[in-house]
C-alpha cells in the first residue's frame, strides 16, 4: 500500500519533466522561428539596399558619362519581331537618342540576330539612314555570332560592318513556313469542315488541300517582291563593295572571313577593336530601353549580392 503514493509521485515527476521539456522545446521553436523571420527580413532589406545602390550608381554613372565623348552602342539581339525588344518601335528611339547626343561621336549597332520581320527590318534600316544624314555621324555594325536575313537588311544601312571570323553573315532571302497534314488526317479519319469565302482564302491552311494557284500568287506577289526590296537595300547600302555572284542572293550564309572577301562585310573585329582602332574612342556607352523597378531589382542581383557579401565578409576578417 505504501508503494502507490511513491509510484504516483514518480509518475508526477516524470510528467513534470516531460512538460518542462515540452515547454523548453516550444520556447526554442518560437525563438528559432523568430530568428528565421529576422534573417529573411534582413535578407530582403539587404536585397533592396543592393538594388537601390545599383540604381543610384547607374544614375550617377549616367550623369558622369552623358557629357563625355563616347561611342554609342545599341544592341540588336534576338528575332526581329513587332511588339518585341527588337521591333522598330523599340530600337528606333534608342538609335535616335544615340545619334542625337552631342557627346556620341559614332554609333555602333551590336548585332546578334537570325533576322525576322522584313517590315520591322526595313523600318530600322530607314531610320539608320535618316539619322546618319541628320546628325552627320557614322554608323557601324559589329556582329557577334549571327547576322542573317532581316538582321543583315538592317546592317547594310551602316557605313561599315565588322564581324568575327566565325560569325555567320548573309541569308539574303525571304521565307514563309507552312505544312500540310491532309494525308495524315485521311488515315486517321479526320475531316476538315472549315468554311471560307474567297477562292484562295485557305491557300496556306495546313488542313486543306494544297492550293497551287494561291501559292504561286503569294510566291510572285509577296515573297519575290519582298526579296527584291531586300536585294535593293543591300545594293544601296554596300554599293560596289559587294561582289555579286549567282549565290549572293540565294539565302546562303558565309563565315566572317569569307564574307569579308566577297564584300558582305568590311572586315574582322569586335566592339572594342572597332571603337578603339577604327573610330578612335575607347569609351563606349550602351543605350538601352528603360527598365521597370522589378527588372532593376532582379537584374543580375545574384552576382551583386555575392560580391557585396564577399566584400562584407572580407572586411570582418
Residues with catalytic annotation? 149, 201
3-state helix, strand, coil split of the chain in percent (to 5) is 55, 15, 30
CA atoms within 13 A on the CB side of 34: 6
CA–CA separation, 242 and 266 (whole Å): 10
The answer to whether 100 touches 70, Cβ cutoff 8 Å, is: no
Using DSSP, state whether 280 is helix, strand or coil.
coil
How far from chain centre, in Å, is Cα 227?
26
Query: What cell numbers appear for 58 in the block?
Result: 547607374
Closest residue by Cα to residue 232 from 126, 93, 104, 105: 126
How far from chain centre, in Å, is Cα 57?
23
* 150-153-157 Cα angle (round to 5): 145
**Crossing angle between the packed helical segments 88-100 and 118-135, to the nearest 10 degrees:** 10
CA–CA separation, 264 and 242 (whole Å): 6
How far from chain centre, in Å, is Cα 90?
12
CA–CA separation, 5 and 30 (whole Å): 37
- Over its C-alpha atoms, the chain yields an Rg (Å, rounded) of 32
How far from chain centre, in Å, is Cα 14?
68
Amino acid at each position: 500500500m505504501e508503494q502507490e503514493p511513491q509510484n504516483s509521485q514518480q509518475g508526477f515527476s516524470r510528467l513534470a519533466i516531460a512538460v518542462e521539456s515540452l515547454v523548453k522545446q516550444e520556447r526554442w521553436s518560437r525563438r528559432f522561428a523568430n530568428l528565421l523571420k529576422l534573417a529573411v527580413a534582413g535578407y530582403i532589406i539587404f536585397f533592396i539596399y543592393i538594388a537601390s545602390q545599383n540604381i543610384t550608381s547607374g544614375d550617377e554613372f549616367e550623369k558622369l558619362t552623358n557629357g563625355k565623348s563616347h561611342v554609342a552602342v545599341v544592341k540588336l539581339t534576338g528575332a526581329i519581331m513587332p511588339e518585341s525588344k527588337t521591333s522598330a518601335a523599340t530600337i528606333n528611339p534608342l538609335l535616335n537618342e544615340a545619334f542625337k547626343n552631342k557627346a556620341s561621336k559614332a554609333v555602333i549597332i551590336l548585332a546578334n540576330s537570325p533576322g525576322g520581320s522584313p517590315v520591322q527590318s526595313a523600318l530600322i534600316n530607314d531610320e539608320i539612314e535618316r539619322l546618319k544624314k541628320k546628325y552627320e555621324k557614322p554608323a557601324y555594325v559589329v556582329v557577334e555570332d549571327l547576322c542573317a536575313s532581316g538582321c543583315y537588311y538592317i546592317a547594310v544601312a551602316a557605313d561599315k560592318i565588322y564581324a568575327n571570323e566565325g560569325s555567320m553573315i548573309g541569308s539574303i532571302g525571304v521565307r514563309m513556313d507552312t505544312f500540310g497534314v491532309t494525308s495524315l488526317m485521311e488515315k486517321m479519319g479526320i475531316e476538315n469542315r472549315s468554311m471560307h469565302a474567297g477562292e484562295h482564302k485557305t491557300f496556306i491552311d495546313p488542313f486543306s488541300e494544297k492550293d497551287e494557284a494561291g501559292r504561286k500568287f503569294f510566291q510572285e506577289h509577296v515573297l519575290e517582291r519582298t526579296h527584291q526590296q531586300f536585294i535593293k537595300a543591300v545594293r544601296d547600302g554596300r554599293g560596289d563593295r559587294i561582289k555579286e555572284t549567282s549565290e549572293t542572293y540565294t539565302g546562303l550564309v558565309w563565315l566572317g572571313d569569307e564574307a569579308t572577301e566577297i564584300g558582305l562585310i568590311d572586315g574582322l573585329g569586335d566592339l572594342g577593336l572597332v571603337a578603339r582602332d577604327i573610330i578612335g574612342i575607347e569609351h563606349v556607352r550602351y543605350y538601352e530601353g528603360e527598365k521597370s523597378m522589378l527588372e532593376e531589382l532582379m537584374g543580375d542581383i545574384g552576382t551583386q549580392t555575392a560580391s557585396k557579401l564577399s566584400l562584407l565578409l572580407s572586411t570582418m576578417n
